[in-house]
Amino acid sequence: MIDKNELIGFIAAVCTTFAFLPQVIKVWKTKQTKDLSLRMYTIMFIGICLWFVYGLRINSLSIILANIVTGVLVFTILVFIFRGKNGK
């Protein structure tokens, strides 16, 4: 039997991890990023890197894996924002 609390936590983690995927698809298709906050994605990426380090230090595979996925998605958005700024 799966603990009900941990099931809620797991679905929550899946949502907040993969939420960035539709934004990645949107910027990939449109190449439009001017409404996106560079500061937001920079701070988010720093936070995700720190979560990854935290996960390594406390040996939590869930934290490590979740933050690799979110890190890749957020980094992809950052690349598109930078390309958009340089293309201006």
Q: Which chain residues interact with a second copy by CB under 8 A?
A: 4-5, 8-9, 11-16, 18-23, 25-27, 30, 32-37, 39-41, 43-44, 46-48, 50-51, 53-54, 57-58
Report how far residue 5's alpha carbon sits from residue 49's, in angstroms, rounded to the nearest whole number. 27
DSSP helix/strand/coil, 88: coil
Q: How near is the Cβ of 39 to a second copy at its closest, in Å?
A: 4
* Dihedral sign of CA atoms 63, 64, 69, 71 in order: positive
13 or 69: whose CB is closer to a second copy?
A: 13
Place of tokens 């603990």: 3
Least distance in angstroms from the C-beta of 49 to a second copy: 8
